[in-house]
Amino acid sequence: MTPEEFRKLGHALVDWVADYRERLPSLPVMSPVAPGAIRARFPAEPPAEGGRLAEAIAALDDAILPGITHWNHPAFFAYFPSNTSLASVLGDLVAAGLGAQGMSWQTSPAATEVEEVVMGWIRRMIGLPPELVGVVQDTASTSTLTALLCARERASGFSQNGAGLQAGAAPLVVYASDQAHSSIEKAALLAGFGKAHLRLVGTDDAHALRLDLLERAVAEDLARGNRPCALVAATGTTSTTALDPVAGMAELAERHGMWLHVDAALAGTAMVLPECRWMWAGVERADSIVFNPHKWMGIGFDFSAYFVRDPQHLVRVMSTNPSYLRTAHDAVVNNFRDWGIPLGRRFRALKGWFHLVDEGVIAMQARIRRDLANAQWLKEQVDATTGWERLAPVPLQTLCLRHVPGGALDERALAEHNLGIARRVNDGGRAYVTPSVLKGKQMIRVSIGATGTERADVERVWAELREAAGRR
Ligand code: PLP
C-alpha cells in the first residue's frame, strides 16, 4: 500500500469509526451471534493475490460488527467499564503509524520519555507519592505476576540466580482474600509458589479481607516453618468492589518483611477524586500497585499502570542485559524492557498522552463523580423496591442485586430466576449486565461507568431489570 492509498482508506476508516461511535446507542449491546457465525463468513484459504483491502473494509459492517459486544455503548453495564476514548484511538493510530519499538530508550527515546511523563501525570492524578515510580504494562494480570516475581526474589535472596525455588528452603506463602481476582491465583501459580502456598483468606460482610483471619494464617504458616512472602490487597474487588484494609495489611507486611501489592485494577481511577482516597488509605506503604487506566479512565486497552517503590529491584529481577541490547546511554536512561516481562514494547504512552490532554483532569473528575452518583441513585431504587435485594455495599460504581419474588424459593430456584432475568435483559439487546455468583448466591451485577452512560441509561436498565423480573 502506498502512503497515498493509505490516506484514502484511512480517511474512510476514520469516518467509519466516527459513524460507529455515533450509532452505538442503536446497536444491540451484547453480540447476538452464535458460535462460529463470524468464522463462517471467511474463506478457509488465505488470499493468493493482494489488493483487496477496500473489500475487507466494506465488509466491516456485515462481517465484523454483528460479532462485536459494544463495550463503549451507553447501556453497557457488564463486567467493568472498558472505555476507549476517541482521543486514545487516535493515539494508537499514531503509535501504529510510527511503528516504533520502545524496548530501550535508544530504540525510540520518545517512547520511553513520554511514558515517564504520562506515568508521572497519572501518579499525581491519583495522589501517590513520588517515591512510587510508574511503568506501563499490558494488563493487571501481567503487573501482578511481575509483583509476585519481585516478591519471590526479594524473599528468596535472588534464588533465580541459583537453584530457584528448587533450593529446598522454607516454602514462601502468598496471601489474598477469597474475593481476589483470578489473576492473583494465576500469578502465584505461574511464579512457582504452588497452590499449596496460596492462602485465600476469608472476608467480612462487606466482602473485604478480614485482618484477624490474615494474621492467624500468617501465624500458622510461621508455626509450620513456612515463610510469609507477599500480601495482595484488593482496592475494589471484581465481584463487589470491596475494599481490603490496606493500612492494616501494610502494617502486617512490614512486621513480617512481606511484599505488599495493591490490586486496584478498576478502582484506581476513582482515586482521581480526592474524596475517594480513604478507600486505599495506607497505599503509600505498598511495594507495588496496579490499576488499569484501560478500564474506567478512558485510555484504550492495553494500558495498565504499574507503580513500584524500588525500580532497581524490579530491574534486577527482570533484566538479562545481553550484549546486543546494551547502549551508550544505559547508565542515565530507563530501558523499560527491564521493567517487565516482554522485551518488545509498543508506544502505548501516546494514547495515554492524547487521552489526558483531550479529557483533562477536571472533566474526568466530573465524569467519575457522575458515575458514582448514578450508582448511588440505583442503590436507592433497589433498596426502596420490594422484592429486590442488594448483596453488597456500593462504595463505587458496581451494584450486586438479585430479585427475590414473593413465595418461598430455594437458592436453586432463585438462581434460575435471576439468571433468567439477566438472560432476558441481555438477549433484548438494550442493555448488558453480568450474571455472577457471590458466596453461593446468584446475583446480577450492574457495573456503571461507560463514558456515554447518563442517568437516563441507568433508569432504563433498572426498568429493563424490573420488567424482566416480571416476565417469568
Ligand atoms: N484485578 C481486578 C480487581 C480485576 O477486576 C481485573 C479484571 O477485571 C483484573 C485484576 C485483571 O485485569 P487484566 O485484564 O488487566 O489482567
DSSP code per residue over 6-70: HHHHHHHHHHHHHHHHHHGGGS-SS--PPTTTTGGGS-SSPPSS---HHHHHHTIIIIIGGG---
What's residue 181's pLDDT?
98
Asked if CATH classification 1.20.1340 holds for the domain at 3-66, the reply, yes or no, is: yes
Span from the CA of 313 to the centroid of ligand 1 (angstroms): 24
Query: What's phi and psi for 275, nearest 5 deg?
Result: -70, -10
Span from the CA of 358 to the centroid of ligand 1 (angstroms): 26
H-only helix segments in 170-210 = 182-190
Pairing of strands 172-177, 388-390: unpaired
Contact between 192 and 164 under an 8 Å Cβ cutoff? The reply is: yes
Q: Which cell numbers in the block locate residue 289?
A: 500497585
Ligand 1 contacts CB of residue 335 (under 6 A): no
Span from the CA of 51 to the centroid of ligand 1 (angstroms): 40
CA distance 308 to 268: 15
Ligand 1 atom with minimal separation from the 304 CA? 15
What value does the CA radius of gyration of the chain take, rounded to a whole number of Å? 24
Span from the CA of 116 to the centroid of ligand 1 (angstroms): 23
Q: How many CA atoms lie within 13 A of 42 on its CB side?
A: 12
Q: How far is CA 233 from the centre of its chain?
A: 15
Neighbours of 269 (CB within 10 A): 33
Q: Which candidate, 398, 412, 417, places its Cα nearest to that of 470?
A: 417
CA distance 254 to 203: 22
Amino acid identity, position 359: E
Residue matched to cell numbers 536512561: 333
DSSP label at 235? B
Ligand 1 contacts CB of residue 136 (under 6 A): no
Query: What's phi and psi for 434, nearest 5 deg?
Result: -115, 120
Contacts by residues 159-164 (CB-CB < 8 Å, ≥ 24 positions apart): 160/317, 164/192
CA distance 187 to 416: 33
Span from the CA of 89 to the centroid of ligand 1 (angstroms): 21
Ligand 1 contacts CB of residue 82 (under 6 A): no
Contacts of 199 (CB under 8 A, 6+ apart): 173, 174, 175, 176, 217, 221
Q: Out of 3.90.1150.170, 3.30.70.100, 3.30.559.10, 3.40.50.2300, which CATH number does the structure's domain 364-470 have?
A: 3.90.1150.170
Amino acid identity, position 180: A
Residue with CA nearest ligand 1 atom 8: 238
CA distance 137 to 305: 6
What's residue 164's pLDDT?
87
H/E segment holding residue 421: helix 411-428
Ligand 1 atom with minimal separation from the 141 CA? 16
User: 4 burial class (0-12, 13-18, 19+ CB within 10 angstroms)?
Assistant: exposed
Q: What is the pLDDT of residues 309-359, one digit of tens each?
A: 999 999 999 998 777 777 778 889 999 999 999 999 999 999 999 999 999
Which of the listed residues 232, 238, 246, 306 should we mutate to test ligand 1's pocket, taking the one with most ligand atoms within 8 A of CB? 238
- Report residues of the chain scoring pLDDT below 70: 408, 472
Q: Which candidate, 265, 233, 259, places its Cα nearest to that of 142?
A: 265
H/E segment holding residue 304: strand 304-308
pTM assigned to the model: 0.96
Ligand 1 contacts CB of residue 221 (under 6 A): no
Which of the listed residues 84, 142, 181 should we mutate to test ligand 1's pocket, taking the one with most ligand atoms within 8 A of CB? 181
Tell me the domain boundaries of the chain.
3-66, 100-346, 364-470
Cα distances (angstroms) measured from residue 131 to each of 28, 120, 134, 267, 309: 46, 11, 10, 21, 6
Longest dimension (CA), the chain: 76
Span from the CA of 382 to the centroid of ligand 1 (angstroms): 27
Q: What is the 3-state secondary structure (H, E, C) of 337-379?
A: HHHCCCCCCCCCHHHHHHHHHHHHHHHHHHHHHHHHHHHHHHH
What's residue 331's pLDDT?
84
CA distance 288 to 99: 30
> Domain 100-346 is in which class?
alpha beta
Span from the CA of 292 to the centroid of ligand 1 (angstroms): 8
CA distance 24 to 19: 8
User: 117 burial class (0-12, 13-18, 19+ CB within 10 angstroms)?
Assistant: middle
CA distance 160 to 233: 25
Span from the CA of 425 to the centroid of ligand 1 (angstroms): 25
Q: Which cell numbers in the block locate residue 72?
A: 463503549
Q: What length does the chain have?
A: 472
